[in-house]
């Protein structure tokens, strides 16, 4: 007899596993079907984020950051370490250990919450039936509700197809066995900048080819310009307005041809990483009766509550509209579980933080200055540099600034943009503030510990109304 569940979730990335756990917490009989298989041939929960995304990339950013500090930043503290070497094998093993700890952690959470975890490929046959193809055969599950959380996959370029060795996607770039002498990256987006930083810090000569004429066009442009200057100092060679015409792997290199305003160029690199975005992943997900519509870009079409066109079928995470971010997917998963359980829940899409984990880090939430100008929303801007804070000076990490944009008449915070050390952590304060519709004055009147980097947030809030203390307004 077919197994019956209140909820079947397809996909155990941060959107799907959070949805499954929350459903189980709310007393719903829940199964989660996921097909991810590790290189060792084992089921590995956590999706892209834990296996080949957020976590392994941050592990390498931390390792390469330590190496870079030893090489270039500790001398001024009076620390000299001669002859430091990077053991790439040990670095990769550490990364794998972190991935394994976390993916096993999800399995443990499933067990603890009594989520039935099934390793296999899920396919929606009809609105209440999910076929699971496993190693051992097939099974049809009956589900009162289905949550689709199948995530995304890297976009491939026809002119430079992946060969898994020299022309690779982000997954390949997380596992180079040695530091490439010359590394080419197509796309100066989040992945290009993060993984370019990793290998650049370890000694690769990194060239990033970006088709657009502007770096990070959706980021506040004052911050993006700061970032561009910082990356230049780090010798990340970012070539804007560069259109790749083709790439061919040879025995010992990849030959890349590209064109920019100055004409046609050739580039020879050891590896080429294609990082031009990701696409929703729905391969073999629907049987003919599923009744779930996709939009014209291949995303599962959903309303503001993540309901698809089929009754009792929801979709969350990268496979639906909105930013492809782990925390956005997790919040959608959580909200859908609560809706299924009869509660009211919603995601505030206006206040989703973004972080780019380069050094300095870049973090933002809400409107950019160019958005406000375009929409003709009157605003005041408060800007404060980290170089004017004692903590950043003590840490010898002074690059960057905090910028707060608040409505000119109501003082409500409309956007916050940070480039600097620990920007990923500093942004949380203003996300909470914006969630509560705080004004710049609310932050300005909040006591911030001294000496901390968060004082730059405090001072930027004061600067909105020209009251910064440690700098001329
Ligand atoms: P996924 O994590 O992609 O999970 C989907 C799961 O569904 C996978 O396990 C897949 O195997 C499974 N699946 C698919 N189809 C089926 C099927 N038919 N049957 C069974 N299982 C199926 N985001 C951040 O917020 N912060 C970061 O720092 C960050 N860093 C990143 C770094 C890199 C290199 C990459 C590639 C991405 C990064 N992201 C980051 C993005 C983040 O990984 C994604 O936004 C997030 O993983 C999306 O979660 P998801 O649950 O929607 O999908
Ligand atoms: P992206 O959208 O961030 O950047 C892709 C870049 O490639 C863009 O700048 C685009 O203009 C450029 N591009 C597109 N086609 C090109 C071409 N033919 N030649 C040259 N450049 C080209 O995408 P990504 O870096 O691949 O990352 C995918 C997604 O993964 C991100 O959008 C983000 O949602 C997620 N991610 C998030 C984090 C994080 O939160 N820190 C880290 C990594 C990935």
Ligand 2 in reach of 191 Cβ (< 6 A): yes
- Give 342's contacts (C-beta < 8 A, 6+ positions apart): none
Helix or strand (DSSP H, E) at 372: helix 369-374
Position 249 in a domain: yes
Does 162 reside within a domain? no
- Pair (108, 218) in one structural domain: no
- Lowest pLDDT segment from 127-131, 256-260, 421-425, 429-433: 127-131
Q: Is residue 347 part of a domain?
A: no
Are 271 and 301 in a shared domain?
no
User: How many CB atoms are closer than 10 A to CB 162?
Assistant: 17
Helix H or strand E encompassing 146: strand 137-148
Mean predicted confidence (pLDDT) in 160-169: 96
Average pLDDT of the residues of the chain:
97
Specify whether 421 is located in the same domain as 442. Answer: yes
Same domain for 142 and 290? yes
Q: Give residue 18's domain range.
A: 4-154+279-340
Does residue 316 share a domain with residue 303? yes
CATH code of the domain covering residue 400: 3.30.390.30
Give per-residue pLDDT as tens, 5-41.
999 999 999 999 999 999 999 999 999 999 999 999 9
CA of residue 302 to ligand 1 center, whole Å: 18
What confidence category does residue 425 fall into, taking pLDDT thresholds of 50, 70 and 90? very high
pLDDT band at 264 (very low <50, low <70, confident <90, very high): very high
Q: What is the mean pLDDT of residues 217-230?
A: 98
pLDDT of residue 126: 84
Among the candidates 313, 340, 367, a domain finishes at 340
pLDDT band, residue 2 (cuts 50/70/90): confident
Between the CA of 253 and the centroid of ligand 1 the distance, in Å, is: 30
**Residue written as token pair 């020209």:** 466
Same domain, yes or no, for 215 and 359?
no
**Residues 113, 15 share a domain:** yes
What's the total number of domains in the chain? 3
159 occurs within a structural domain: no
- 447 within domain boundaries: yes
**C-alpha dihedral, 56 to 58 to 63 to 64, nearest 10°:** 110
Mean pLDDT of 292-310: 97
22 and 115 together in one domain? yes
CA 446/CA 457 separation, integer angstroms: 11
Q: Which of 407, 450, 458, 470 is catalytic?
A: 450
Strand partners, 260: 263
**Ligand 1 shell residues, CB under 6 Å:** 10-16, 33-36, 47-49, 53-54, 57, 121-122, 149-152, 170, 191, 281, 285, 317-319, 324-327, 329
For the chain, the residue count is: 473
State whether 240 and 126 are in the same domain: no
- Say whether pLDDT at 75 is over 80: yes
> pTM for the full model?
0.98
The response to whether residue 212 sits with its C-beta less than 6 Å from ligand 2 reads: yes
Token couple for 243: 């259109």
pLDDT in tens, 439-472: 999 999 999 999 999 999 999 999 999 999 999 8
CB neighbours of residue 133 within 10 Å: 15
Give Cα 390 distance to the centre of its chain.
31
Candidate of 106, 326, 328 to mutate for ligand 1, largest count of ligand atoms within 8 Å of Cβ: 326
Closest residue to atom 41 of ligand 2, CA basis:
356
Rg (CA), the chain: 24
Q: Give the confidence band of 136 by pLDDT, cuts at 50, 70, 90.
A: confident
334 lies in some domain: yes
CA 83, CA 73: separation in Å to the nearest integer? 15
The yes-or-no answer on residue 450 being catalytic is yes
pLDDT at residue number 1: 65
Would 315 be classed as within a structural domain? yes
Domain holding 284: CATH number? 3.50.50.60
239 and 296: one domain? no
What separation in Å is there between the alpha carbon of 281 and the centre of ligand 1?
A: 10
Torsion over CA: 300, 305, 308, 314 (sign): positive
Residue-wise pLDDT for 351-404, tens only, equals 999 999 999 999 999 999 999 999 999 999 999 999 999 999 999 999 999 999
pLDDT at position 235: 86
pLDDT reading at 312 higher than 90: yes
Instruction: Note whether 361 and 460 are same-domain residues.
Output: yes
Q: Exposed/middle/buried for 452, CB within 10 Å: 0-12, 13-18, 19+?
A: middle
Same domain, 204 and 297: no
Average pLDDT over residues 264-271: 98
pLDDT of residue 472: 86
Model confidence at 66, pLDDT cuts 50, 70, 90, reads: very high
Q: Which of 276, 307, 329 is the last residue of a domain?
A: 276
The answer to whether residue 348 is domain-embedded is no
């Amino acid at each position: 007899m077919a197994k019956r569940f209140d909820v079947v979730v397809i996909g155990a990335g941060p959107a799907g596993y959070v949805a499954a756990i929350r459903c189980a917490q709310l007393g719903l009989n829940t199964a989660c079907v996921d097909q991810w298989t590790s290189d060792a041939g084992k089921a590995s929960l956590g999706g892209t984020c834990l296996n080949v995304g957020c976590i392994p990339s941050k592990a390498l950013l931390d390792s390469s950051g330590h190496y870079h500090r030893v090489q270039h930043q500790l001398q001024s503290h009076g620390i000299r370490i001669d002859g430091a070497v990077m053991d790439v094998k040990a670095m990769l093993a550490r990364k794998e250990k972190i991935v394994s700890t976390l993916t096993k952690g999800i399995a443990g959470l499933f067990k603890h919450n009594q989520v039935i975890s099934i390793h296999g490929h899920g396919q929606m046959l009809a609105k209440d039936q999910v076929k699971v193809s496993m190693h051992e055969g097939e099974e049809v599950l009956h589900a009162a509700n289905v949550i689709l959380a199948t995530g995304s996959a890297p976009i491939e370029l026809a002119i430079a197809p992946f060969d898994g060795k020299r022309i690779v996607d982000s997954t390949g770039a997380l596992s180079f066995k040695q530091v490439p002498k010359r590394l080419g990256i197509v796309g100066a987006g989040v992945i290009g900048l993060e993984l370019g930083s990793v290998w650049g810090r370890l000694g690769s000569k990194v060239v990033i080819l970006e088709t657009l004429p502007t770096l990070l066009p959706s980021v506040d442009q004052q911050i993006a310009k700061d970032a561009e200057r910082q990356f230049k100092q780090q010798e990340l060679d970012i070539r804007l307005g560069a259109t790749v015409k083709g790439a061919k792997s040879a025995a010992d290199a990849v030959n890349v041809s590209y064109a920019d305003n100055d004409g046609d160029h050739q580039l020879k690199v050891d590896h080429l990483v294609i990082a031009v975005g990701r696409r929703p992943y729905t391969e073999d997900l629907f049987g003919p009766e599923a009744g779930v519509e996709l939009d014209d870009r291949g995303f599962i079409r959903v309303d503001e509550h993540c309901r698809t066109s089929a009754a009792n079928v929801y979709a969350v995470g990268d496979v639906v509209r909105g930013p492809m971010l782990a925390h956005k997917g997790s919040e959608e998963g959580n909200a859908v579980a609560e809706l299924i359980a009869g509660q009211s829940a919603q995601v505030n899409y206006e206040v989703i933080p973004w972080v780019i984990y380069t050094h300095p880090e870049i973090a933002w939430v809400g409107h950019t200055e160019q958005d406000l100008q375009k929409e003709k929303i009157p605003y005041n801007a408060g800007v404060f540099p980290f170089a004017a804070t004692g903590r950043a000076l003590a840490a010898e990490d002074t690059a960057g600034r905090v910028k707060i944009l608040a409505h000119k008449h109501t003082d409500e915070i409309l956007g916050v943009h940070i480039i600097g050390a620990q920007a990923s952590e500093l942004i949380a304060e203003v996300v909470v503030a914006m969630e509560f519709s705080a004004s710049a004055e609310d932050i300005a009147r909040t006591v911030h510990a001294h000496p901390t980097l968060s004082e730059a947030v405090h001072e930027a809030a004061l600067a909105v109304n020209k009251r910064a203390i440690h700098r001329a307004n």
